[in-house]
């Protein structure tokens, strides 16, 4: 069986005709012919007819009008109106049914998706209600517990174990902070000049005490602390004490070498450094944390009041010794300070020597 060149459907030989030129077969209805009757062998399909060259015959519009019979035959052959073309009617009915089926299927699928989504939304809302109710219950319980605690007038004191743990944590944090300052030195009583370069000042000081330091050996150098300003009647505001010069070195061994050289040449003044201003004695010490500086200051005061000869710091740790040959005590916190120097806590948080 062959397919129709017009609608593309299969057809039998009895209901089809063949073009005399291209040999393509068509339904009679697809080319506007009656289902009965014979056709000449020279019949051409519409595609071949529109491609034929005009021969300017007597029946062309130029030469004159064609006969009425020929005109009607031509109209019958090419009539493709919906009234005479049954194939188009079948195709339209088939397309309409197909579209209806597709739309019905699409509608069912869409409704199914909407139902499933609404079901999921209901489930989520149900879970959300449960969580909200649970949180409300927990909040009510917490409010009741807070109210009970607020109504309690007697506050239980912290246990000794908790206090010991807090002290231990504070000491550990201070030791960690001190470890971060392991490469720093603190230089005091160096005259501060406007527009000075702290790195050049640190290199000059190191060279004077016999330690060779290059710019790449200094990570940073800066003045720290607040200015101490006093006033005189004649000259106006005067700085009573220069700020500390803090130098961070690239290596710890270089810091230790600088501290050792400063101990050997103890007693040098700013005049030896050829710095402007009156000659004052300067000091080079390792840099301590704020907690250790305060602890070191109080240890020196307590040791001085009780006649202790040695109070010093080494590698960020504070030590005390009463006389040569005695054991050295490591002071880490307030309790150590009280235990070493037999001090008692004062009402303002300090310590005083016991009688």
In a domain, 71, yes or no: yes
Kindly report whether the global pTM for this prediction surpasses the value 0.75.
no
348: containing domain: 290-353
Domain match, 42 and 71 both: yes
Domain match, 195 and 277 both: yes
| 317-321, strands of its sheet edge to edge | 310-314, 317-321, 329-331
Distance CA 201, CA 222 (A): 10
In a domain, 219, yes or no: yes
Q: Which residues pair with 247 in a beta bridge?
A: 185, 221
**Does residue 351 carry a pLDDT above 50?**
no
Provide the pLDDT for residue 246.
94
In a domain, 153, yes or no: no
Of the candidates 293, 272, 288, 267, which has an alpha carbon nearest to the alpha carbon of residue 191?
Answer: 272
- Residues shown for the chain: 355
The 10s digit of each residue's pLDDT in 85-130 is 555 555 566 678 888 888 998 999 999 999 999 999 999 999 999 9
The number of domains in the chain is 4
The 10s digit of each residue's pLDDT in 123-180 is 999 999 999 999 889 889 998 888 888 887 555 555 788 888 888 898 899 989 999 9
In a domain, 164, yes or no: no
Give the domain-ending residue among 228, 262, 286: 286
In a domain, 163, yes or no: no
Q: The dihedral of CA 150, 152, 156, 157: what is its sign?
A: positive
Domain match, 27 and 111 both: no
> What's the CATH number where 76 sits?
3.30.40.10
Give the domain-ending residue among 23, 53, 84: 84
The 10s digit of each residue's pLDDT in 236-250 is 555 567 889 999 999
Half-sphere exposure (Cβ direction) of 39: Cα atoms closer than 13 Å: 22
- Other C-beta atoms closer than 10 Å to the C-beta of 217 total 18
In a domain, 162, yes or no: no
Give the domain-ending residue among 84, 106, 121: 84
């Amino acid at each position: 069986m062959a397919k129709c060149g017009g609608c593309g459907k299969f057809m039998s030989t009895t209901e089809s005709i063949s073009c005399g030129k291209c040999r393509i077969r068509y339904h009679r209805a697809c080319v506007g012919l009656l289902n009965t009757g014979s056709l000449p062998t020279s019949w051409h399909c519409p595609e071949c007819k529109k491609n034929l060259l005009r021969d300017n015959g007597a029946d062309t519009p130029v030469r004159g009008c064609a006969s009425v019979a020929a005109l009607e035959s031509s109209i019958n052959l090419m009539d493709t109106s919906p009234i005479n073309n049954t194939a188009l009617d079948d195709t339209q009915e088939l397309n309409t049914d197909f579209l209806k089926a597709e739309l019905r299927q699409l509608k069912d699928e869409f409704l199914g998706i909407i139902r499933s989504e609404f079901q999921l939304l209901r489930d989520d809302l149900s879970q959300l209600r449960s969580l909200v109710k649970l949180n409300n219950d927990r909040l009510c319980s917490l409010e009741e517990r807070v109210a009970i605690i607020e109504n309690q007038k007697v506050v239980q004191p912290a246990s000794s174990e908790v206090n010991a743990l807090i002290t231990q944590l504070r000491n550990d944090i201070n030791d960690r902070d001190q470890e971060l300052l392991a490469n720093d030195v603190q230089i005091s009583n160096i005259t501060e000049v406007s527009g000075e370069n702290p790195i050049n000042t640190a290199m000059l000081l190191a060279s004077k005490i016999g330690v060779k330091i290059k710019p790449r050996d200094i990570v940073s150098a800066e003045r720290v602390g607040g200015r101490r300003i006093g006033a005189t009647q004649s000259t106006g505001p005067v700085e009573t004490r220069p700020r500390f010069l803090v130098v961070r070195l690239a290596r710890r061994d270089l810091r230790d070498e600088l501290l050792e050289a400063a101990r050997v040449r103890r007693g040098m003044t700013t005049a030896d450094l050829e710095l402007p201003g009156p000659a004052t004695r300067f000091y080079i010490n390792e840099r301590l944390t704020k907690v250790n500086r305060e602890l070191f200051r109080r240890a020196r005061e307590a040791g001085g009041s009780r006649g202790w000869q040695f109070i010093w710091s080494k590698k960020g740790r504070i030590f005390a010794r009463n006389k040569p040959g005695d054991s050295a005590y490591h002071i880490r916190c307030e309790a150590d300070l009280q235990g070493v120097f037999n001090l008692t806590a004062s009402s303002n948080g300090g310590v005083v020597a016991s009688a």
